[in-house]
Amino acid sequence: MDEITVLAIETSCDETAVAVVQKNGPTITVLADIVASQVDIHAATGGVVPEVAAREHLQVIGPLIKQVMTAADAKPAALDAIAVTVGPGLMPALSVGVNAARILAYVWKKPLVPVHHLAGHVVSALLRRDPNNIQLYQVPDQTTFPALALIVSGGHTLLLKVTDFLTYEILGTTRDDAAGEAFDKVARLLHLPYPGGPAISKLAQEGDASAYAFTRPMLRSGDLDFSFSGLKTEVLYTVRDLSEQALQAEAANLAASFQQAVVESLVIKTVRAAEQLVPKVVLLAGGVAANELLRTSLAASLAAKNIPLQVAPLELCGDNAIMIGQVGVLAFAGGRATTWQHIDAAARLDIVTMANHQRRR
């Protein structure tokens, strides 16, 4: 089978995303895609309330699927499979996407491809987007492996050894908060809106990154793990001692100094992992990969060691269904499909176990 077409669904957190993605040999084409963000709703509560997210997903998912199928000019008969994020993520949110996929698979008599959310982020940086046509992606050949991936999002901070498109080993992870979560929590301390990452990086442009000497956590830990909750507490203690007026005056400096500490900690550990692994390429993806300082600092540090950095396209850093469809067509091509009776959402889902589990099927 040379041409594979999947409908992809992603509802693990606060974006409802649907796409139709097609694989033709080494080329993957996005036929249509939509992301409906709930950011405005969650901004009111300063974070995602899982039940609220689920209700929103449920409200929009039907119309979005119809809209994407129409935009792709795809009839159900043209689909080879339905790919869906099964985890990790917020259980009530994940369940909406998984159940929608399950119902469609039953009614349309299609196989299902369970997708690990983080495999989506990895693949979003692994595939190469055509500079002249943003709907076209090239699947690299095997000479791109081993790759090293830094996945940084609101829920995850992971260094992965990538030995094949869907085969990973965990080299390092966070011991507490994820990098994006730290941005979100510190933003709240600085009275900035949710999501915190974009707000902090914008404000940081007006600040002095050396104004506060926050700790670069875990640098002497000897492993490849991260930790961000201590840094957040340092910011908290600093903010607590400031009057409301002083906080206003210092917010940009605090944002810049905090961002610098997070970025340095991510860059130093990633470079350390790259020295150990000697990968063909380093991949950077996930919501925090949108951070300009992280992109430029990591690129500069790796360039000094002659290791290329491949960053996910900006539009694919946040959650989307294109990356889920990309994994979907690759996994389906590799025979990793199941049926509607055998798929379930899982809030916690190990990326290594999932890859092995899928390979056995």
* CB 186, min distance to ligand KG4, A: 10
The whole-angstrom distance between residue 62's C-alpha and the CA centroid of its chain comes to 24
Long-range CB pairs of 109-112 (<8 Å, 24+ gap) are 110/76, 110/79, 110/80, 110/81, 110/82, 111/80, 111/81, 111/82, 111/332, 111/337, 111/338, 111/339, 112/81, 112/82, 112/83, 112/84, 112/337, 112/338, 112/339, 112/340, 112/342, 112/343
Distance CA 261, CA 293 (A): 11
Q: Which of Zn ion, ligand KG4, none sits in contact with 198, Cβ below 5 to 8 A by type?
A: ligand KG4
Count of chain residues binding Zn ion (CB under 5 A):
2
Considering beta carbons, is residue 5 or 291 the nearer one to ligand KG4?
291
Site for Zn ion in 148-177 (CB under 5 A): 153
Contact 351, 160 (CB under 8 A): yes
| Binding partner at 172 among Zn ion, ligand KG4, none, C-beta below 5 to 8 Å by kind | none
The binder of 195, among ligand KG4, Zn ion, none, by C-beta within 5 to 8 A per type, is: ligand KG4
Decide whether 56 or 319 has the Cβ nearer to Zn ion: 319
Burial 296-322 (b: 16+ CB within 10 A, else e): ebbbebbeeeebebbbbbeebbbbbbb
Piece of the chain touching Zn ion by CB under 5 A; list 249-257, 260-268, 297-305, 314-322: 314-322
- Asked if 155 touches ligand KG4 (CB under 6 A), the answer is yes
CB of 313 to ligand KG4, least distance (A): 13
Interacting partner of 264 out of ligand KG4, Zn ion, none (Cβ under 5 to 8 A depending on kind): none
Instruction: Give the residue nearest to Zn ion (CB).
Output: 153
Site string for ligand KG4, 159-198 (x = CB under 6 A): ---------------------xx-xx----------xxxx
- 286 makes contact with ligand KG4 (CB under 6 A): yes
CA-CA-CA-CA torsion sign (126, 127, 132, 133):
negative
Which residue in 85, 128, 148, 144 sits closest to 313, CA to CA?
Answer: 128
Q: 122 or 290: whose CB is closer to ligand KG4?
A: 290
Of residues 289-328, those binding ligand KG4 (CB under 6 A): 290-291, 318-319
Residue 287 DSSP one-character state: G
Binding residue (CB under 6 A) for ligand KG4 from 144, 201, 270, 326: 201
The 10 Å Cβ neighbour count of residue 347 is: 15
Give the count of beta carbons closer than 10 Å to the beta carbon of residue 336: 24
Place of tokens 């790796």: 302
**Is residue 120 part of the contact set for ligand KG4 (CB under 6 A)?**
no
Considering only CA atoms, which of 332, 313, 316, 325 is closest in space to residue 68?
Answer: 325
Binder among 16, 38, 153, 310 for ligand KG4 (CB under 6 A): 153
Query: Applying CB under 5 A, does 319 fall inside the site for Zn ion?
Result: yes
Which residues, including other chains, have CB under 8 Å from residue 346's CB and lie 6 or more apart?
A: 86, 87, 88, 94
Q: Which is nearer to ligand KG4, 114 or 196 (CB)?
A: 196
Residue 288 contacts which entry, ligand KG4, Zn ion, none (Cβ below 5-8 A, type-dependent): ligand KG4
**Selected binder of ligand KG4 within 4, 6, 9, 13 (CB under 6 A):** 13
Separation of first and last alpha carbons in the chain? 19
Contact set with ligand KG4 (CB under 6 A): 13, 153-155, 180-181, 183-184, 195-198, 201, 286-288, 290-291, 318-319
Contact set with Zn ion (CB under 5 A): 153, 319
